[in-house]
């Protein structure tokens, strides 16, 4: 057998590509969470994980370091990803890159089961195309970030496979696996629950016994109830009880969210045609929908539309958040990749298909390469704890000038206190208030958030930072 016949089957095996992209994303896996794309989202979760490790390991009481003199207990997404970082830290000591590895592994497993589901119920070519598109999409960079979006969606995709196994074979272990994975996925990110709506189709399949459908419905109801209790009972309770209510965004009313989206519909639309897999990918996505409708492949269209529309409905609750926080679109990528894979499967010449996939991959990946470098002035934040140790004690409360509730700088100081923009930190009444509450130092991040001149003794000054010691104004 010649070399060509040995290599070609490898390139057609999705496991090769999953492993390839896994290894590719290991580059810089131990970098601090300081890449430009949503470092604040990562440090927010890592702050919770570190507090599990250092302060209190009760998973029902997550803590952040931005609440000033308060406990820091806050309502947020169910912190299972943060807790996994904590559990690994118990063995190896705390490192912030553990979360990257956990998300990366879960993502690879999710794509594998994404492939298995499509291969089983449709065809192998569609499964391969869709999985490759998912691998090169925005998932490429976000599946190595310590945020719960890809993690939760991957768990939900995997859970669908086991739900179908239970409906077809009635195995209790498959039901249990579905329940655990779907529960964790929905609790970690409630919008990930929209992925589970594709279970409507096997539930409507007359070949699956009614008894199993009823059992699966009961377990699904338990998952729904648990998610509702966490997000709509427990989160508000934590925020109200511990007095840090502005940290976690609970969404808008549907009317307010819809109004904001309509007001900015052009920018919101760009999130769909530019962000998931860039322009060529979106064009192929639109053409694929046309071909599926033209060939009257209603099941394929339905499997795409049901989770996609469910995603759009929940997206309205977030209003225009998707404009700044483009990780919201991650949940819609599997359904978009699926229908795109269906369209590409219509092409008989596989060389043309390969060229299209390569073009989509090159364009999409080239737009994400920047995410694998830590650039200044963000890189300078890595040394903040050492700098703060020179002038203060670890238990000293501090204030940091940053956008409201941005935790990145505070996380790297390894301290607790207040985060406020320059206009707030310049206010005498605010300064007097936090001084009364125990604030001892003000850290100014000059290059990122702007310089700030205060009438307090300066105890540190460099190209990137200033530190003021709070005493009576001179």
Report the sign of the C-alpha dihedral through residues 287, 289, 293, 296, in that order: positive
What burial class does residue 438 get, using C-beta atoms within 10 Å of its C-beta: 0-12 exposed, 13-18 middle, 19+ buried? middle
Residue 399 backbone dihedrals phi, psi, to 5 degrees: -120, 140
- Please state the domain extents for the chain: 1-30+99-146+252-373, 378-469
Cis peptide leading into 74, omega within 30 of 0?
no
Paired tokens of 294: 């033209």
Give pLDDT tens digits along the chain (474 positions).
565 556 677 788 999 999 999 999 999 999 999 998 789 999 999 999 999 999 999 999 999 999 999 999 999 999 999 999 999 999 999 999 999 999 999 999 999 999 999 999 999 999 999 999 999 999 999 999 999 999 999 999 999 999 999 999 999 999 999 999 999 999 999 999 999 999 999 999 999 999 999 999 999 999 999 999 999 999 999 999 998 877 777 778 888 988 999 999 999 999 999 999 999 999 999 999 999 999 999 999 999 999 999 999 999 988 888 887 888 999 999 999 999 999 999 999 999 999 999 999 999 999 999 889 999 999 999 999 999 999 999 999 999 999 878 999 999 999 999 999 999 999 999 999 999 999 999 999 999 999 999 999 999 999 999 999 996 444
A 10 A CB-CB count for 393 gives 9
């Amino acid at each position: 057998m010649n070399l060509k016949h040995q290599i070609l089957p490898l390139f057609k095996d999705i496991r090769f590509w999953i492993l390839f992209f896994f290894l590719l994303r290991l580059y810089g896996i131990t970098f601090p969470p300081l890449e430009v794309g949503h470092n604040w989202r990562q440090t927010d979760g890592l702050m919770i994980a570190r507090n599990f490790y250092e302060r209190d390991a009760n998973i029902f009481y997550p803590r952040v370091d931005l609440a000033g003199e308060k406990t820091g207990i806050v309502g947020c997404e169910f912190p299972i990803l943060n807790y996994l970082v904590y559990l690994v830290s118990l063995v190896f000591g705390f490192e912030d890159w553990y979360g990257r590895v956990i998300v990366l592994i879960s993502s690879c497993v999710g794509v594998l089961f994404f492939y298995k589901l499509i291969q089983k119920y449709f065809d192998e070519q569609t499964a391969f195309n869709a999985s490759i598109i998912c691998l090169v999409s925005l998932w490429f960079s976000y599946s190595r970030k310590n945020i719960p979006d890809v993690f939760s969606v991957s768990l939900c995709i995997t859970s669908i496979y086991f739900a179908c196994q239970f409906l077809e074979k009635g195995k209790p272990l498959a039901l249990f696996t579905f329940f655990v994975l779907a529960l964790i996925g929905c609790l970690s990110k409630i919008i990930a629950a929209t992925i589970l709506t594709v279970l409507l189709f096997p539930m409507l399949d007359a070949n699956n016994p009614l008894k199993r459908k009823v059992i699966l419905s009961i377990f699904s109801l338990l998952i729904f109830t648990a998610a509702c209790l966490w997000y709509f009972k427990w989160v508000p309770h934590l925020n109200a009880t511990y007095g840090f209510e502005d940290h976690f965004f609970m969404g808008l009313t549907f009317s307010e969210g819809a109004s904001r989206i309509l007001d900015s519909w052009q920018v919101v639309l760009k999130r769909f045609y530019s962000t998931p897999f860039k322009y060529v990918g979106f064009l192929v996505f639109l053409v694929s929908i046309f071909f599926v409708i033209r060939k009257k492949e209603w099941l394929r269209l339905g499997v795409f539309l049901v989770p996609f529309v469910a995603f759009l409905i929940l997206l309205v609750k977030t209003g225009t958040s998707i404009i700044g926080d483009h990780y919201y679109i991650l949940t819609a990528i599997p359904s978009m990749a699926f229908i795109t894979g269906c369209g590409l499967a219509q092409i008989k010449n596989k060389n043309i298909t390969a060229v299209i996939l390569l073009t989509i991959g090159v364009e999409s990946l080239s737009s994400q390469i920047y995410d694998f470098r830590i650039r200044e002035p963000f890189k300078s934040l890595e040394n903040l704890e050492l700098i703060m140790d020179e002038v203060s004690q670890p238990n000293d409360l501090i204030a940091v000038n940053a956008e409201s509730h941005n935790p990145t700088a505070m996380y790297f100081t390894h301290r607790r206190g207040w985060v406020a923009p320059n206009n707030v930190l310049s206010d005498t009444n605010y300064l007097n208030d936090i001084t009364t509450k125990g604030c001892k130092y003000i850290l100014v991040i000059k290059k990122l958030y702007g310089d700030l001149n205060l009438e307090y003794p300066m105890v540190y000054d460099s190209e990137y930072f200033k530190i003021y010691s709070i005493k009576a104004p001179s």
